[in-house]
Amino acid sequence: MTEAAAFRVIRARARRKRHPLRRWYRGNERAILSAAGIVSFIAAWQVGSDAGLISKFFFSSPVEVAAAGALEVQKARFWEDVKISASELAIGSLAAVLLAVPLGIAIGWYRRVSLTFDPWLNFFNALPRVALIPLVVLWVGLGFEMKTIIVFFGGFFSIILPTVEGVRTVDRQLLDVARSFRAPERLIFTSLVIPGTLPFIVSGIRLAVGRVLAGVIIAEFYAQTAGLGVMIARSEASLQSDRMLFGVLIFTVLGIVLTEAVGIAERYLQRWRPSLDLEEAA
Amino acid sequence: MIAAREAPAVQLLGRLRSRNERVFYGVIGFVGLTLAWEIAANSGLFRKSLLSTPSAIWKAGVTDIGAGTLWPHVATSLEEFAIGFIVSLAIAIPLGLAIGWFRRIDYLLNGLLAALNATPNVALIPLIILVAGIGFESKVIVVFLSTFFAVVVTTFTGVQSIARRHLEITRSFGGSRWLAFRTVALPSTTPYILSGVRIGAGRALVGVVSRFDVWRPELHR
Amino acid sequence: MRSGHLALSARGVQMQYRDRGTGKTLLAIENVDLDVPDGAFVSLLGPSGCGKSTFLKIVNGLLPATSGEIKLHRVAKGREDAMVFQDAALFPWYSVLDNVAYGLVCAGVTRGEARRRAAPFIELVGLKGFDDKYPYQLSGGMQQRANLARALAVDSAILLMDEPFAALDAQTRELMQAELLRIWNAAKKTVLFVTHQIDEAVYLSDRVVVMAARPGKVIADIEIDLPRPRPLSVKRTPEFAVYEERIWRLIAGEYEQARAAPDAAS
Ligand SMILES: Nc1ncnc2c1ncn2[C@@H]1O[C@H](COP(=O)(O)OP(=O)(O)O)[C@@H](O)[C@H]1O
Ligand SMILES: [Mg+2]
């Protein structure tokens, strides 16, 4: 019998010499394919609308959107709108974080606070935020304050609920360790509760990004006074789909940037967690 | 003991509280909120036409259900919901599975999906109204959008969370990748898909009920 | 009883892992030679991280080695080798019967036929009557029996076992060791058994191959000349203690060396 028939042979992976271009592709495959995906989407949109397959009236085209944008950024009115939306967003979000985090920790830590606040939280969270708008309008009118408050609500509930959850799921075993060493409450808080809750807070903030952006738009649609939401709405009214899509694109970019920023913060705060992406390769 | 000298009512309250603290504080919270709302609305501080009261809502609900005027609206909403929801699931679940299972499909689509996902749905309302009006179709589109990303993202997460060891078993016994998909990926992803469907349903309900309330065309046409 | 040929023969097997992110490489095992005669029970013994699992995965085809070669004696039908994993190795969504039948399903057998052929192995490992139970309803020891039955059911010539009893409590582990010898005797298999426990390796094996870490390599190959069948009481005999002592010295010596030269070890 020959050896080939008698044995199944498992050989080492041959180290093939690959073309440098191919090696470059393998090393950057993710970035290359992502870019390819976006580029072909934009190209298909442009070609489709030039060929008349996609209605220019409704969906415009990438070139037209870019042109509308170039025109827009030269207007003082546009920068006025940007300033207003940005202030609403900044103030509302900041207030949401500053209030939701301490309150969430208190609710999570003190049983009685929690039992009293829980139904309220659940109620307001279940309530569609647009239903709050008329109430807020009654309270402060249609101006800047109302829009900022709507932004605040969007962020506040997205952050406070995970924060409460985070405090409640602090590792019981570590808590026992701390207590058995007679750690004072303060130390338990700073060494255990806060670090254990941080990932939850950050994931709440990640959720809040979408909500505060939606809050600005909803409030501005409703109030129709000023801001980027109004610019979008006015473009729709005057059937300028290119200008409208330029406005939408601003929120897309803002959403990506903010989410990415939260992601960076998240990776930094979680740096003590072992990374799981060891690859089997040689 | 001090407690022994307290009035019977206080004692009873105390016993109730210690017996079932959760329910006790919960009821207090809910009743308190409802009462505060009723009082605020009746106080004359706000116009009645703008701020309804719990008692008025209750009465209106009872009347509507009795007169049968509510049902046609409910039926339309249900239809909008059902169509948008089912179409959304039919696309989102296979898409989530595909980007989870095939690395290259993930790479190709993740930029696009991230961009669409980062765009607040409400920002698209003007576009939807431009294309489909304020009727049936636009509500279906809103339901579709509200469900879509929740389901794609949870399904994708589900595929990514499959235990490596489980995939290794199929490979170890010489099973194909397609077999691994059917016997490992699908069963372990199912709980994630279901939770995505649940989250999506919640968002879609909010969408069908309220998304267009902020749109006030009379103000700018 | 034994046909005298080698069931497995490894030459110069080396494995280098590379971290995709940082590009750093790690030499997990270096130049491993190993011969396993047909029908033998051979253990790979070494501290955690010395590359035992890596070696088994290479034999099993789960990982391509970076260099070296392994020959497995061909069998007329079915696979040459089947793996018994350490833990979390049963599908929670399958019953015991479907889990045990899974290896056959992977080989292309229809589900009905696979179940029919799996049934006797459930009995062989002592799980009769548990066919319809789900993994969460089984104790750790019973789960490992099911795990073993799945590998037995594909009727391979070699069983690769990766610390199959490491997660069990001490009593259950001893019981399972004795059970394994009974099954090994009944099924007439070649076994390559990985463990970090000296007494387990000595009790089960015809030969114990001792490995050291960083990088993983073979430092000794010891014949265990204890008579079979081996009741658990063998573990209390002086001969057994001598083997344990000898292997312990080897491992401790390696450890001292590594401590004396920490730079060379990293
Ligand atoms: N997929 C992987 N990627 C990178 N390194 C790995 C991987 N698997 C194992 N290693 C490393 O290889 C060495 C040997 O691991 P392993 O074979 O699991 O050892 P053992 O089974 O003897 O405990 C260890 O240092 C381990 O960290
Ligand atoms: Mg191991």
Q: Give per-residue pLDDT as tens, C198-208.
A: 999 999 999 99
Which pTM was predicted?
A: 0.81
Query: Residue C211 has what pLDDT?
Result: 92
pLDDT of residue B10: 62
Residue A98 belongs to domain spanning: 76-227
Backbone angles phi, psi at C161, to 5 degrees: -120, 120
Chain segment C65-118, per-residue pLDDT in tens? 889 888 888 877 778 889 999 877 899 999 999 999 999 999 889 999 999 999
Which of B102-111, C73-82, C115-124, C208-217 is the least confident region? C73-82
Q: What is the pLDDT of residues A180-194, one digit of tens each?
A: 888 787 888 888 888
Show which of residues 63-92 on chain C sit within 8 Å of chain B, judged by CB atoms.
Answer: 79, 82-83, 85, 88-89, 91
Q: What is the CATH number of the domain that holds A186?
A: 1.10.3720.10
A63: Cβ contacts below 8 Å, ≥ 6 apart: A46
| CA of C197 relative to ligand 2 center, distance in Å | 12
Interval B144-197: pLDDT, tens: 988 998 899 999 999 998 988 899 999 999 999 999 999 999 999 999 999 999
Question: Residue ranges of the alpha helices (H) in A141-227?
Answer: 144-168, 172-180, 185-188, 194-223
Contacting residues of C for A26, CB less than 8 Å apart: none
- Would you give the DSSP letter of residue A53? S
Among the bound ligands, name the one nearest to the CA of residue C47: 1
Domains of chain C, with CATH numbers? 1-80+158-176+189-266 (3.40.50.300), 90-155 (no CATH)
How far is C92 from chain B, CA to nearest CA, in Å? Answer: 9
Determine, for residues B173 and C106 on separate chains, whether the beta-carbon distance falls below 8 Å: yes
Three-class DSSP labels, chain C: CCCCCEEEEEEEEEEEEECCCCCCEEEEEEEEEEEEECCCEEEEECCCCCCHHHHHHHHHCCCCCCEEEEEEECCCCCCCEEEECCCCCCCCCCCHHHHHHHHHHHCCCCHHHHHHHHHHHHHHCCCCCCCCCCHHHCCHHHHHHHHHHHHHHCCCCEEEEECCCCCCCHHHHHHHHHHHHHHHHHHCCEEEEEECCHHHHHHHCCEEEEEECCCEEEEEEEECCCCCCCCHHHHHCHHHHHHHHHHHHHHHHHHHHHHHCHHHHC
Mean predicted confidence (pLDDT) in B123-146: 84
Domain assignment present for A177? yes
Through-space distance between the first and last CA atoms of chain C, rounded to whole angstroms:
46
Contact B90, B148 (CB under 8 A): no
User: Taking CB atoms and an 8 Å limit, are A13 and C64 in contact across chains?
Assistant: yes
pLDDT digits (tens, 9 = 90+) for A44-55: 988 988 888 888
Binding partners of A (≥3 Cβ pairs within 8 A): B, C
Q: CA C107 to CA C14: how far, in whole Å?
A: 29
Asked if the structure places residue A54 within a domain, the reply is no
Which residue in A134, A229, A252 is closest to B119 by CB distance? A252
Q: Is residue C162's pLDDT more than 80?
A: yes
State the sign of the Cα–Cα–Cα–Cα dihedral B210, B212, B214, B219.
Answer: negative
**pLDDT on residue C204:** 94
pLDDT band at B219 (very low <50, low <70, confident <90, very high): very low
Mutation target to probe the C interface, by most C beta carbons within 10 A, among A1, A7, A16 is A7
- Determine the pLDDT at residue A4: 47
Report, as an integer, the average pLDDT of A223-227: 80
Residue C58's Cα: distance from chain center in Å?
A: 13
Cβ-based contacts of C15 with chain A (< 8 Å): 282
- Residues whose beta carbon lies within 6 Å of some atom of ligand 1: A 278, 280; C 17, 26, 28, 46, 48-54
Q: What is the largest CA-CA distance in chain B?
A: 78
With an 8 Å Cβ cutoff, the interface of chain C facing chain A consists of 5, 9, 13-21, 25, 58-59, 61, 63-74, 80
How far does the CA of residue A181 sit from the closest CA of chain B (Å)? 30
Residue C160 CA, ligand 1 centroid: distance in Å: 17
In this complex, do A35 and B108 lie within 8 Å of one another by their Cβ atoms? no
Query: What's the CA gap between B173 and C99, in Å, rounded?
Result: 12
> Which chain C residues have a beta carbon less than 8 Å from that of B188?
93
- Cβ–Cβ contact A8 with C under 8 A: yes
Question: Is residue B138 within 8 Å of B129, Cβ to Cβ?
Answer: yes
Does the beta carbon of B199 lie under 8 angstroms from any beta carbon of chain A? Answer: no
- The predicted structure's pLDDT at residue C115: 94
Evaluate whether residue A41 is within a structural domain. Answer: no
Q: Which of A138-142, A235-239, A272-276 has the lowest mean pLDDT?
A: A272-276
Least confident of A78-87, A185-194, B89-98, C29-38: A185-194
The amino acid occupying position B196 is G
Looking at the structure of chain A, the number of domains it has is 1
Check if the beta carbon of residue C151 is closer than 8 Å to that of residue C82.
yes
Measured between alpha carbons, how far is C203 from C239 in angstroms, rounded to an integer? Answer: 11
Query: What are the domain boundaries of chain B?
Result: 2-68, 71-210
Q: What is the pLDDT confidence band of residue B109, given thresholds at 50, 70 and 90?
A: very high
Beta bridge partners of C36: C8
Tens-digit pLDDT profile for residues B5-23? 556 666 666 666 666 666 6
Considering CB atoms only, which of B21, B25, B220 is closest to A234?
A: B220
Task: Give the whole-number percent of chain B exceeding pLDDT 90.
Answer: 28
With a CB-CB cutoff of 8 Å, which residues 115-174 of chain B face chain A?
A: 115-127, 129-131
What pLDDT is stored for residue C261 in this prediction? 64
- Mean pLDDT score, C232-254: 89
Q: Are C176 and C193 in contact (CB under 8 A)?
A: no
Cβ-based contacts of B116 with chain A (< 8 Å):
252
- Residue from B171, B158, A274 nearest C89 by CA: B171
Long-range contacts of A118-127 (CB under 8 A, 24+ apart): A118/B25, A118/B26, A118/B29, A119/B26, A119/B29, A119/B30, A119/B33, A120/B29, A120/B33, A121/A157, A121/A160, A121/A161, A121/A164, A123/B30, A123/B33, A124/A153, A124/A157, A125/A157, A125/A161
Select the more confidently predicted residue: B125 or B86.
Answer: B86
**ipTM for this model:** 0.86
CATH superfamily label, B71-210: MetI-like (1.10.3720.10)
Say what the pLDDT of residue B64 is.
67
Among C5, C59, C66, beta carbon nearest to A12: C66
Cβ contact C45:C204 at 8 Å = no
Q: Is the peptide bond before C215 cis (omega within 30 degrees of 0)?
A: yes
- pLDDT of residue B55 exceeding 90, the answer is no
Q: Which chain C residues are Cβ-neighbours of A9 within 8 angstroms?
A: 69-72
Average pLDDT value for chain A? 83
What per-residue confidence (pLDDT) applies to B180? 95
Q: What digits encode the pLDDT tens for the residues A74-132?
A: 888 889 888 989 999 999 999 999 999 999 988 888 877 777 777 777 777 766 666 67
